[in-house]
Amino acid sequence: MRKVGEGTRILNFLIDTLIVFLLAFAFNKFWMFQVKYWGYPYFNFGWIFFGMMFVYYSFFEIVFQRSPAKWFSYTKVVNKQGGRAAFWRILLRSLARVTIIDLFFIPFLGKPLHDWVSGTEVIEK
């Protein structure tokens, strides 16, 4: 089990964030049409973005053990023993990931908060 370096993790973060942003932007345009013409409730783009981020990471990591960026870099999410992470661990990982302070824990824990809280690792495939 070979852990992934910080450069690969940063690349994964940037690719996934770009994909999530584009999905959230498209959904926001669709939702604003609904707000304008059908009177649906308005949601701030930030709520849509972070909601989309939670759904995106949860879906891909539960079903495939990796997000699209992790496919690109040949990495995957596993538990501490190297096996498939449990459903609840991925949900906890995704929930911790949408907090603003997630990446600020790297100097203190040696890894992002979402890895520490969920007990998961990102390894090379």
Which of helix, strand or coil describes residue 18? helix
117: domain range?
6-124
Place of tokens 């981020």: 53
Q: Which tens digits make up the pLDDT trace of 40-69?
A: 999 999 999 999 999 999 999 999 999 999
Q: Is residue 87 in some structural domain? A: yes
Asked if residue 78 lies in contact with residue 84, where contact means CB atoms within 8 angstroms, the answer is: yes
**Has this prediction a pTM greater than 0.95?**
no
Q: Which amino acid is at 74?
A: Y
Q: How far apart are CA 3 and CA 24, in angstroms?
A: 30
Region of 65 on the Ramachandran plot (φ > 0 left; ψ -120 to 50 alpha; else beta): left
Token readout for 119 is 């007990």
Domain count, the chain: 1
Range with lowest mean pLDDT among 14-18, 49-53, 80-84: 80-84
